[in-house]
Chain A
Amino acid sequence: MAVEPVTLTSVKAAPNHGRMLRERLATILPQLVLAPSLFATLIYVFVFCGWTIWISLSNSSLLPDYSISGFHHYVELWSNRRWTIAYTNLFLFTSLYVIGATAIGLLLAILIDQRVRAEALWRTIYLYPLAVSFVVTGTVWRWLLSPSTGVERVVHQLGWASFKFDWLVQREMAIYTVVITGIWQASGFVMALFLAGLRSIDPDLVKAAQIDGASMPRIYRRIILPAIGPIFISVLVVLLQFAIKTFDLVIALTGGGPGIATTVPAIYVYDLMFQRGQMAEGAAAAIMILLALSLVLVPYTIWKNWRERREAARG
C-alpha cells in the first residue's frame, strides 16, 4: 500500500511536465518566428535612421566622419537653390499627382460600377500600368512626350506642321509631364481600391435613396462616397508615400532636367551622397524626406489606432 502513492505521483508528473513545456513553447513560438524580421527592421529603420541623423550633423564628405559639427548642413541645404527647387517640385508633384490620380481613379471606378459590359476587361486594362515598373513607364513616356520621337512628330507627319507639344523639354512645363506619367500609372490602382469599396455598399442603400428622391450625383455625394471614406484615407496614404519617395520615374523620364527643372529630393540625395562626396549634406536632405514622410504617416497611424480603439470599444 505504501508503494502505490509514489508510483501514482511519478506517473502523473511526467505528462504534466510535457504539457507545460508544450504550452510554454506555444506561447514563445510566435515571438521566435517574428524575432528575426523584428531584429532586421530595428536595425534597418532605427539604427540607420539614427546613423543618418548623426552623419547629417557631422563633417563627413567622401567618407563618414563621426565628429559632430552642428546643424550647418541643414542651413546650407536650405540656402541651395537646387534643393529648394527639388522641395518645391516635390510639393507640386505630390499635390497634383495625388489629387489627379484620386480623381481619375474614382471616376473610373464609378463608371465601371455602372455595370458596364466586359467589366473584367476594362478593369484589367486600367490595372495594367501598375504592373509596369517606374523605369519602363518613364522610358516609354519619354519617347511619347519627346518632340523628336513622340506625339509631336506623329502629328507633324500627319501634316499639322505648327503643332507643338514639347512640355518635356520646357523648363516650366517638364514637371507636369512627370505628373501626367505618375497619374497614368497610379490611377488604375486607385480605381481598383475604390471599386472594391463601391462594391461593398449595400445596394439597398441606393434603392432607398432613389425612393427618397435623391438624384444619382447626390446619392454618390451624400451616401456612397462618405460610406467609403476610409478608402480615401488609404488611397491618400499610399499615393503620398509613393510621391515623396519618387526617384526612378523622374530619372527615366527627364533625368531631373531640363537642367535641374524636375529635380526631386530623392535625386538630390543620391547625387550628393554618391556622386559628389558630400555625405553630410546628402544625409541632411534624406532626413528632410523622412520628415515629409512622417508628416503623412504619423497622423495616419494615430488615426488608425484611434479608429481601432473606437471600434473595439463599441464591440
Chain B
Amino acid sequence: MASLTIRNLNKTFGSVAVLKGIDLEVETGEFVVLVGPSGCGKSTLLAMIAGLESVSAGEIRIGERIVNGVAPKDRDIAMVFQSYALYPTMTVRANITFGMESRGVPKQAQAEALARVAALLQIQGLLDRKPSQLSGGQRQRVAMGRALVRDPALFLFDEPLSNLDAKLRVEMRTEIKKLYQRLGQTTIYVTHDQVEAMTLASRIAVMHQGRLQQFAEPRTVYDRPANMFVAGFIGSPPMNFLPAQISASGPAVLVLEESEGQGTRLPLPDDVAQSAGDGRRVLLGIRPENLTRYDHRWADEKPCLGTIKAPVEIVEPTGAETMAVVRIGSREVIARYEPDAAPAIGETVTLAVDMAKACLFDPATEMLI
C-alpha cells in the first residue's frame, strides 16, 4: 500500500489539452473516485497513473517514488478494466496466475495466492472455465481476482461496473465496498456514475474539461459543491438554480428575480449574507429534497425556512418519492414530495425552501460563494 501524489499534471494529444494542471493527494488506504462526464479526462488520468499513457508535464508519485518514466509493470499497481480484459484463451486459473507467472513467483506461492483470492471472491467453481463460458458478473469477479491476487501499492479501477445490467451493478458495487472495507487498499476508481462515486468514495474528485473541479468527501461535494458544474453533476435529480439578489437591509433576505408577482423573499443566514455582500446578484442553488411541501410544524424546527408559491406542471412518481416539476418565473424547478402528499398537475402549491441548505453561486464565475 502506498499514497499517490499528483502535481500539476498535464496531458496533450497534439494540440488538444486533455488534462490541465491536475493536483491530487491521495493518502494511504483511501478510496478515491474520479468522476465526471465522458471526455472529462478521468480515464486518461487513470491510464497515466498506470503508466499506459505518457506524462506531458507534471509529476506522479506512488509513495515517495516519482514514476513518470517507469514502465507499468514496475509501478506496483493492479488494474481492473471496463472490458475486463480477460485473456480469452486462458482458463480463469491461468488468467489470475499469469501476472505471478510473468514475475517468476514460485508455483507454491502462486497456488496459495490463487486459493486465497478464489475464496475471497467465491469463484472456486469457475477456475477451470474459459472467459467465454462466464456470465458478466462472473467475468467481473475474475477481473477483480486478477488484481487482488497481488498486494500492490495501488488498485486502479476503470469503470468496472458499466458493462453490467442495473441490478448486478448495484450488487457488485456493494461487494466492492465490502472488499475495500476488508482490505483497506489505496484505490483509484474511475466512473461516470455519480451514485457509484457517492456510495464508494472516501473522497471524490470531480473532473470536467480536463480540470479538477472539487476534491472532497462525498458529503461536502454534495452539500457544498465548489461550483455550478459539480452542483449539477452530483445528485439526481440535479440541483435547481434560480437567479436572485441579496438584500441585507433589515434581516437578510434573498429576492428571487423571476418569481411570480414582485420578488419572492427568502430568509438568508446572516453570515452568508455578510460574506456575499448586500445587493449582490447571485444564483440560488437548492436541491429538490430541500424544496418540498410546506408544513406549519417546521416553523420552529427550521430557523431559515422560506416559502414559494408555484404551479405544478409535471408529476413523476418514482416509488419512494415523487418529483414535481413546478414553474418559477421562466424556470422549471424540481421539488421532492412524499408519495402520499404528492400534488396534482395544475395545482398551485406552497413550497417550503430550507435556506439553511441553500448554496449561492456567483453568476459570472459560477463558483460557490
Are A and B co-members of a single complex? yes
- With A and B bound together, what is the CA distance between A63 and B251 in angstroms? 120
Q: How distant is B311 from chain A, measured CB to nearest CB, in Å? A: 51
* Proximity string of chain A (189-219) to chain B, C-beta cutoff 8 Å, 1 when within and 0 when not: 0000000000000101101111111110010
Across the interface, do B103 and A213 meet the contact criterion of CB distance under 8 Å? Answer: yes
A214, B77: Cβ atoms closer than 8 Å:
no
Stretch at the interface among A88-96, A223-231, A240-248: A223-231
Q: Is the CB of B85 within 8 A of A213?
A: no
Q: B98 near A: Cβ within 8 Å?
A: yes
Q: Is A304 engaged at the interface, CB distance under 8 Å to the other chain? A: no
Q: Encode contact with A along B56-97: 1 for CB under 8 Å, 0 otherwise.
A: 000000000000000111000111011101011110000000
Residues of A within 8 A of B89 (CB): 223, 226-227, 229
Q: Would you call B132 an interface residue if the criterion is a C-beta within 8 Å of the partner chain's C-beta atoms?
A: yes
B133 adjacent to A211 (CB under 8 Å) = no
Q: A207-B52, A314-B132 are in contact. Are A202 and B73 (CB under 8 A)?
A: no
Which secondary structure dominates where chain A touches chain B?
Answer: helix
Q: Which residues of B lie under 8 Å from residue A214 when comparing CB positions?
A: 73, 98-99, 102
Q: How far is the CA of A205 from the CA of B90 in the complex (A)?
A: 12
Inside 8 A of B246's CB, which chain A residues have their CB? none
| Known contacts A207-B72, A314-B132: A213-B99 contact under CB 8 Å | yes
**Category for how many chain A residues contact B:** 10 to 19
A306 to chain B, nearest CB (A): 16
Min C-beta distance of A310 to chain B, whole Å: 10
Chain A residues positioned under 8 Å from B87 (CB to CB): 205, 208-209, 222-223, 227
Q: Is the CB of B99 within 8 A of A212?
A: yes
Please name all residues of chain B whose beta carbon is closer than 8 Å to the beta carbon of A226 when the two chains form the complex: 89-90
B50 interface residue per 8 A CB criterion: yes
Given contacts A226-B89, A227-B89, A314-B132, A213 and B81 within 8 Å (CB-CB): no
B83 touches A211 (CB 8 A): no
Using CB atoms, name the residue of chain B closest to A206. B85
User: Are B98 and A207 in touch, CB under 8 angstroms?
Assistant: no
- B78 and chain A: residue at smallest CB distance: A211
- Asked if B72 and A210 sit within 8 Å, CB to CB, the answer is yes
Name the A residues within 8 Å of B82 (CB-CB).
204
Instruction: Tell me the smallest distance from the CB of B134 to a CB of chain A, in Å.
Output: 11
Do residues B73 and A211 form an inter-chain contact, with CB atoms below 8 A?
yes
Cα A191 to Cα B132 with chains together (Å): 27
Q: Which residues of A contact B102 (CB under 8 A)?
A: 209, 212-215, 218
Asked, given contacts A204-B83, A204-B85, A227-B89, whether A210 binds B98 with beta carbons under 8 Å apart, the answer is no
- Once bound together, how far apart are the Cα atoms of A77 and B102, in whole Å? 55
- Are A205's CB and B85's CB within 8 A? yes
On whether the beta carbons of A208 and B73 are closer than 8 Å, the reply is no
CB neighbours (8 Å) of B103 from chain A are 213
Residues B50 and A222 in contact, CB atoms below 8 Å apart = no
The interface residues of chain A lying within 8 Å CB-to-CB of B78 are: 211
User: For residue B73, which residues in chain A have a CB less than 8 angstroms away from its CB?
Assistant: 210-214
Contacts of A202 in B (CB 8 A): 83, 85
Contacts A204-B85, A226-B89 known; list 18 others, CB within 8 Å. Answer: A204-B82, A205-B87, A207-B52, A208-B81, A208-B85, A208-B146, A209-B87, A212-B99, A212-B102, A213-B102, A222-B87, A223-B87, A223-B90, A226-B90, A227-B87, A227-B88, A314-B132, A314-B133
Closest 7 CB pairs of A and B: A212-B99, A204-B85, A226-B89, A213-B73, A208-B85, A213-B102, A214-B102
B residues near A, CB below 8 A?
50, 52, 71-73, 77-79, 81-83, 85, 87-90, 98-99, 102-103, 132-133, 146
6 A-B pairs in the complex with CB atoms less than 8 angstroms apart: A204-B81, A205-B85, A207-B50, A210-B52, A211-B77, A214-B102
